[in-house]
Amino acid sequence: MKTFIMKYKKEILILSILNLITYIFILINPILLQYIIDNVIMNNEKKLFNLILIILILSYALSTIASFLSNYYTEYVNIIIFQEKSSELISIILTSHKYMNTGDTISRLTDNLRLIINLISLIIPKIILNIFVIVVPLLIMFYIHTKLTILILTPIIIYIFISYIIGDEIEKIEMKILKNNSELFSLFKEIFTSKEFINSFGIEKLFLDKYNLKTNEYKKNILNCAKITSINFSFESIITVIPILILIIYGGLLIINKELTIGKLALFMSYIYLIFSPITELSMNWINYKKIKPAIIRINELYKLNKNTKLSKDALNIKKEK
């Protein structure tokens, strides 16, 4: 999988840079807001206000252009990787001597491959963006007031730890779901290709019972996955409120004691809202990665057929020489 990712490192880098540029406007807004409150409003610095307006317009234009390019290039990368990898895998399957269930193979070439492509074009660039959008505001917040930033970070660290545990549980369930999918694909193929045979012997109930058994197992795994994901959302909504309360109570005391300006409190408030969006997104991307991991294993199994095919060809050559 590392080789797979490294092959498309240029595409990942370009998408990451474009995503970072789209966030320039959002990242500088809290800093400009602080200057508007502390300098323009409080000290009546009108020249600074004009400069802030120019910076806002330029950053917004740059972010809009980058957003367009990012969306277009994501689709371009998706189709290019799909063409290359699906062609490779079909070639391996055609030259392999090992029997593979048709429904299972179709599931791997469609659903599983699409998940891995999303890892390259969406999830990895998003994770890089999330880390950047979290780290930059935190560095600014630490610079302004270290103690206040540490207090705000405490519930966030707890949430990240919970998300890590939930991600591991999701991975186990997702492997079962992918297996259920492939079994259902195979059963559909068996039913549709054997319809006349099933009708002739009157064994419709046998196949219907078999289908119901598979769908009940699939439903159980889907609901388990939904339950664990919902737990993650619940923690997210609770923990989002705690840093705001800390900021209002402790930040208010700092303003009263003249240790913090109103502009800097507004900056903190803006960055807390800004940070929580990528933190929750990072949590979801971690869970999405865990969901994709079983798909990676299933695609790797197809690539292993290539090695087995080479070995069988070598063995045939040796026999011919003898």
Residues contacting 215, CB < 8 A, separation 6+:
184
Q: Quote the pLDDT of residue 103.
A: 65
Per-residue b/e over 31-60, b at no fewer than 16 CB within 10 Å? bbbbbbbbebeeeebeeeeeebeeeeeebe
Burial class (CB in 10 A: 0-12, 13-18, 19+), 288: buried
In the DSSP assignment, the letter for residue 2 is: H
Q: Which two three-digit tokens encode residue 153?
A: 């970070």
278 SS3 class: helix
277 vs 26, 32, 68, 156, CA distance in Å? 12, 20, 21, 12
Alpha-carbon gap, residue 251 to 19, rounded angstroms: 32
CA 288, chain centre distance (Å): 5
In the DSSP assignment, the letter for residue 1 is: -
The residue written with tokens 């000290």 in the block is 43
Q: Quote the pLDDT of residue 30.
A: 82
The answer to whether 31 and 144 have CB atoms below 8 angstroms apart is no
Residues contacting 6, CB < 8 A, separation 6+:
none
Residue from 86, 54, 70, 58 nearest 22 by CA: 70
Q: Which two three-digit tokens encode residue 176?
A: 């079962």
Q: Is the dihedral of CA 203, 204, 207, 213 positive or negative?
A: negative
211 vs 201, 207, 243, 321, CA distance in Å? 18, 6, 49, 51
Alpha-carbon gap, residue 56 to 117, rounded angstroms: 35
Q: Quote the pLDDT of residue 97.
A: 63
154 vs 99, 150, 242, CA distance in Å? 54, 6, 10
pLDDT tens, the chain, 322 aa long: 566 677 888 888 999 999 888 888 888 888 888 888 888 877 777 778 888 888 888 888 898 899 899 999 999 998 988 888 888 888 877 776 666 666 667 777 777 788 888 888 888 888 888 888 888 888 888 888 888 888 888 887 887 777 778 877 887 888 888 888 878 888 887 888 888 888 888 888 888 888 899 899 989 988 988 888 787 777 766 677 888 888 888 888 988 888 888 888 888 888 887 787 777 777 777 777 777 777 777 777 777 776 654 434 443 343 334 4
249 SS3 class: helix
Q: What is the DSSP string of 87-106?
A: HHHHHHHHH--S---HHHHH
Residue 258 zone, left/alpha/beta (φ > 0; ψ -120 to 50; rest): left
The answer to whether 290 and 119 have CB atoms below 8 angstroms apart is no
Q: Quote the pLDDT of residue 311.
A: 38
Residue from 59, 103, 61, 105 nearest 86 by CA: 105
